[in-house]
Every structure is written in structure tokens, then in C-alpha cells.
Amino acid sequence: MQLPRSAGLLLHPTSLPSGRLDGDAYGFVDWLAAAGIAWWQLLPLTPPDSTGSPYFSDSAFAAWPGLLAEPEAPVSAGELASFRARHTYWIADWEAFAGEGAAADQVRFEREWSRLSAYAHERGVRLIGDVPIYIAPGSADHRAHPELFLQAGVAGCPPDGLGPDGQHWGNPLYDWPANRREGYRWWIERFRRSLELVDVVRIDHFRGFIAYWFIPDGAPTAAYGHWRPGPGARLFRAVEAALGNLPLIAEDLGIITDRVFAVRDELGFPGMAVLQFAFDGSPTNPHRPENFREHLIVYTGTHDTDTARGWWECELDDATRGRSGLDPAEPAWSLVELALGSRAALAVLPAQDVLGLGHESRMNLPGTVGPPNWQWRLEPGQLTPELAARLRGAIAAAGRLAG
């Protein structure tokens, strides 16, 4: 996948003032177009768990009806029949799991999302979605396809800079030989569904396809886990054979080996860099702008990091602040300009960083559950015409203006 030099904004629909696909969503698209933004990046559109996390969903296929602007809109028998005919692989499993009205909600979502997507495309704004590697235990897919999952062990990641105990996610792990025997059909259909909704998909935890962290049942922390081999490029080649060229972004953050980078490059997927990770003083740090390659997406931060201002105020010592070269008067905007000015093909900016918001506006703190995670929303009118003009100027100066 070749990306033109451009800029994107990261904002999940739940962070719109209304949290729905209503006038706020269309107004947001208008603001993106005015600011010269070419990409709207989203978190997973699947139903979140009870804490609001979209990464622990009851379905890898169904969209969340909680985003609907008109949740009671009528749905005809013909619309239901058409949707079921086009989504035979998964819709019956979802109806069995979610109950009466589940298919009608998916029709409503398709109707509203198609309108919003077309509106965005008409204004030069394309959509980046997100596919979590894992699903929730007991989810519709876990129940419908138990043969595709291991009967023991759960997912997580080893100790790293985010915590000495690692992260104990608790998701079921895939039985990769079983998935291979099935021809990776479940994955083919999952990517097919994702690419019906968005133009490009970010694959969360890409390194888990190369080797994944196996945590034994009953282990007190993720530190008791170990690495096991994943399917590597074989899975994506199977999906590519079924669907054609794949517009995918590899989230290649964390403890990454040369093998992960080799598979990413073999597949032609762009990877990621995060500027908040760039200032440890190491000249070989891949997050330093001078080490970027063009086939890359650079972020000031992600949904799992603090906001740029929160990072500056709460996480950095004076020596690192001085070494960063960022403007202490406007550290968030300074980081935005650094991302835009880099050689990475695509620079994605969380909305909080464009607004210069602090720690209180962080989207998620990994390793914690419940509020305030996943709760942040824009205030009505917070994205002003003046801010759009300022951002457009910075994007133009960096040679990233859309269209």
C-alpha cells in the first residue's frame, strides 16, 4: 500500500460531543476538510465491553448500535433479507448471541455509516479503521467457532516500558494450526467486513501474528508468560488471495524483533512511529524523526498514551524536556509540527493534541479498567474555524495538504 504525503486525525465517534453518527459527525467531517485533513482514524466500530473498551468486543463483525443517530428507525423485511444474504458468514451467529433486533441494528448501522462515509469521501476525507488482534472470551465468535481457539492460556504482553508485570488481557488465544486448516476463512471474512466499512485498516498488535505472548491459566501476572510462534505472512497471503491487495497498517509497537519487521516489509505494510517515544537519547531509536522511512505512519501519541501536553507535564523530566527541542510554551503543537514536518508519508494527530489538552483528556491508560478510560468527549464548538485554519496552514507548510 502506497500512501500519499498527507495528514490524519484520530478521534473515535464516541468522542464526538453526542457520541453518535448524527450532525456532530457530519460537522466533524466538514472541520477535517477545512483543516486539510485527508484521513479520519477511528478505533474499532464493534460493540465495546461494559467499561467502554472497543478492544474487548462481543463481536469481530457486528457494528455497535450505540453509535446510531436513529436507533428506532424502521427496517423493512427486504432490507433484513438483503443484509443477511450479504453477511451469511457471521450475522446468524450474532443474532443468536445478541437476540431479537440484532440484525435490524446492523441494517441501521450500515445505512447511517454508508451515508457518513460517502459524505466524507465527497469532501476528500478517507477512513482508517482498527482491527484488534483478539476477541473477548465468551463473545459471539468464541462461541460460534470454539475450534479456532486454544482451550488453555490467555493473551497479553510481556513486561515492558508500560509496566514491570506486563499486561494480562485475558483474551482467548488462536489455535493457529486449526485456523490454517480452515484456510483462514474466519480471518478472510473479518477483513472483508472491515474493508466494507473503512478504506484502510490498522492491525492492532501486529507482532502477535509473528509470535504471541502465551499466559498460562491462573498466572498472577503476564510476566509468567512466554512466546509462541504465530502464522506470520501465511495468514495475510491467504487473505490477499481472497480479497486482493490489502490496505493495512501494521501496529508494530512494543517488543519488536527483526522477524516482525521482516514480515511487515515482505507484506508491504507501513509500520508506526510514536513521537512520545522518541526522546530517550538513543541515536538508533526508531521513533526519532531522523530515523524514519517514508513508508510509515507517525503519531504524536495514540489512544493508549497520554495526550502530548499530559506527557510533557507528567512524564518527562527536565533533562528530557530540554533534549526534546520542543517549545515549552506549546509542547503539544510543537509535537504536531514535528510529526507533520517528518518524512513519514502519513502523520496522524489525536484530536486532543491538536487542541493542546492535558492529562485529564487521555483516552485510555493500559493496565487499568473502567472510568475515566474511553470517556473523553469533545465539547460542542471546541474544534473552531480558527483552529482549522491554523492546522491547515501547518499541513500546507509541511506539503501534506489533501487533494
SS3 of residue 137 by DSSP: coil
* Residue-by-residue DSSP string for 38-65: -EEE----SPP-TTS-TTS-S-SSPPPG
Q: Is 304 in the active site?
A: yes
Q: Is 251 in the active site?
A: yes
Q: Is 317 in the active site?
A: no
Catalytic residue of the set 105, 204, 337, 353: 204
Which cell is 49 given? 465491553
155, 171 contact by CB (below 8 A): yes
Burial group, residue 49, by CB count within 10 angstroms (0-12, 13-18, 19+):
middle
Sorted by sequence, the CB contacts under 8 Å of residue 159 that are 6+ apart come out as 165, 166, 222, 223
Catalytic residue of the set 251, 252, 306, 353: 251
50, 370 contact by CB (below 8 A): no
24, 365 contact by CB (below 8 A): no
- Phi/psi at 65 (nearest 5 deg)? -65, -15
Catalytic residue of the set 49, 304, 313, 330: 304
60, 46 contact by CB (below 8 A): yes
Q: Which DSSP state fits 128?
A: E
What are the catalytic residues? 204, 251, 304
